[in-house]
Structure formats: structure tokens, C-alpha cells
Amino acid sequence: MKRPPARGDLSAAVVSALEEPPGTVSLPDHRAAAAADPYGDDLQLALALCYELHYRGFDAVPDTWEWDPELLRFRAALEHAFLGALQADAPAQDDPDVLLDGLLVEPDGGGVSHFLRDEGEYWQLREYAAQRSLYHLKEADPHLWVVPRLWGPAKAAMMAVEYDELGAGRAERVHARLFADLMADLGLDPAYGRYLGACARQMLAVNNLMSLFGLHRVHRGALVGHFAWVEVTSSPGSRRLAQAMERLEAGPAAVHFYSEHVEADAVHEQVVRHQVVKGLLREEPALAPDVAFGIAATGLLEDRLGERLLSAWRAGESSLFAPL
């Protein structure tokens, strides 16, 4: 994966550091992160660069950067700023069921999937796929970090869902592979991380949230909440996106990716709600507020991403930070 251009001092510091051997550079102290916009381009890209070292890394960057103490210190300052903003902005709630029930009632006016199904243009469909590629080309990976932190029915149910996400043992059916095929149908580059530098800050934040929760055991409840949000909302949205792909003649692989998620995620929704979430809370009932926070924080960032996409498209403008 190639390193994208920086978007400010924080991300420039990471890009520059990764050009040097681990242990040889100093990064900005916590005051720089505290002074930055926690949802801004610079902080979110800096955080994304740090997190990608835990996935597939970057070209010509030593793998030992992953656990470099100086980079981890800097990342912790970025995370503190981001997490503090989320805790201030996401509505407080102690009962995850109340939030999950609310997700079953779709708001009036529709969202991104409604827009793409009913009036979206082909170029907007391509932008949407490029943005979502940050997650879908690593689909299931951030959530797997929670598996060693679960026990009993919650662990077994989580693995059952993840087994499906990873193709049920068949490489050609891994959902990340299916999304790469979708991108090829749309004339996009399916290489992992290819559009990191092009994605809007709102998409970076959505993607970073999963890694933030996944890399910290203390946020295991929040990661389960995030996963529940994804699975509960996926099936109806996937149906509309499959219809958008068909209307715009995006290609068979593009249609198949979302059609696959309609039925699979309807099942996953029930498994996650009744076995993963409830199983976790039977073992650790004190985590209920954390699960609720994961749901609320995910909804907050997804809403902001939706607003960014729709406001740009309705104005006839690109939703991306940089053109495809």
C-alpha cells in the first residue's frame, strides 16, 4: 500500500516518520493532537496511517513500525482527542436494545442508499464504492480483534458470523474479494487501500472507529455495539444498493456483492442481537453502556458521512477529498 499525501502537520509528521527507521524520530506531543479538529482531515488521516500498520502496512515501511513506542504514544494522543469528541457528541444511553430497536425504523427522507437507488448517477456510484472500499476491502478484519475477548455463546456466535464474512472457507467468496470484483465492474482499482488518499474525512473517521475499538480490550463492548449497528442496518440498505447497481447497469459482480448481503445480513442481525450482544452482557452486564456507546458513535459518524455524500452530490460536486 502506498502512503497518501499528508493533509496537515499531524499527518505530515507520520508520513515523514515512516520514511525513517523505527526508533530514530520524534513525533509531536499531545498538545498538537489536542489543538486539532478531532474529526478533521489532518487528525483522521494521521490516525488512519497509524492504524494501517496493524493491517497490511505500507510499501518500503518496516513492519517493526507497528509497535514503535514513539508512534504508539503519538497515536494515543490522536485517539484521546477523537474518543473525547465522540463521547461528547454521541447521545448517552445505557440500554443497547433501545438503540438497536430504533435502527429498525428508518428516518423520513431516506439516505444515501435511497438516493443512489432512485436518482444517483454512475459517477456517484463509483465515488460511493471508492469511499466504502476503505472498509470493505478489510471486511471482518477489525471485528476479529474482539474474538479473543469474548467467551461462551457470544464468542461462538461472533465466529459464526465472521465465518460467513470470510467466505465460509472459500477464498472466492470472501466478502472483501467480492467487493474487489464490484470495484472492477465499476472501473475502479481494487488494490487494497488504493483510495485512502482520496476519501473524505468523514469516511476516514468511520473506518478509524473500528480500529480504535478493535485494538483496545477496554473497548470490546463498544466494538460489539459497532458490529451490531452494521449488521442491523445492512440488509435493507444492501437491497437498495443492489437495485441501484441494477438500474445503472454496474455489472454482475457489483449487483452480486449487495444481493449477497441482503439475505446474509438479515440472518446476521438476529445472531448478533440475540447471541453476540446478549451473550456478552450475560457474562459482563457492566458493559451495557459501552455497547450502547459503540452503537451511538457508529450512528453519529455514519450520519455525518451520509450528510457529506448527499450535500456534495445534490450540488453536483464530488464527495471525495481528491478526484478518483
- Which helix (H) or strand (E) segment holds residue 26: the answer is none
- What residue has cell string 455463546? 153
What pLDDT does 221 receive? 98
C-beta neighbour count of 168 within 10 angstroms: 9
Q: What are phi and psi of 207, to 5 degrees?
A: -70, -40
Tell me the per-residue pLDDT of 82-101, one tens digit each, with 9 for 90 and over. Answer: 999 999 999 888 899 999 98
Q: Is the pLDDT of residue 206 over 70?
A: yes
Tell me the per-residue pLDDT of 41-55, one tens digit each, with 9 for 90 and over. Answer: 999 999 999 999 999
Report the chain's terminal Cα–Cα distance, integer Å: 16
Q: Is the dihedral of CA 73, 52, 265, 131 positive or negative?
A: positive
Put residue 90 in one of left, alpha, beta given phi > 0 → left and psi -120 to 50 → alpha: beta
What pLDDT does 264 receive? 72
Q: Is the pLDDT of residue 268 over 90?
A: no
Alpha helices in 166-249 (DSSP H): 175-185, 201-214, 220-247
Tell me the per-residue pLDDT of 289-309, one tens digit each, with 9 for 90 and over. Answer: 999 999 999 999 999 999 999
Q: Is the pLDDT of residue 158 over 80?
A: yes
Tell me the per-residue pLDDT of 104-138, one tens digit each, with 9 for 90 and over. Answer: 877 666 899 999 999 999 999 999 999 999 999 99
Per the CB < 8 A criterion, the answer to whether 169 and 234 are in contact is: no
Tell me the per-residue pLDDT of 59-69, one tens digit each, with 9 for 90 and over. Answer: 999 999 999 99
What pLDDT does 108 receive? 66
Q: Is the pLDDT of residue 285 over 90?
A: yes
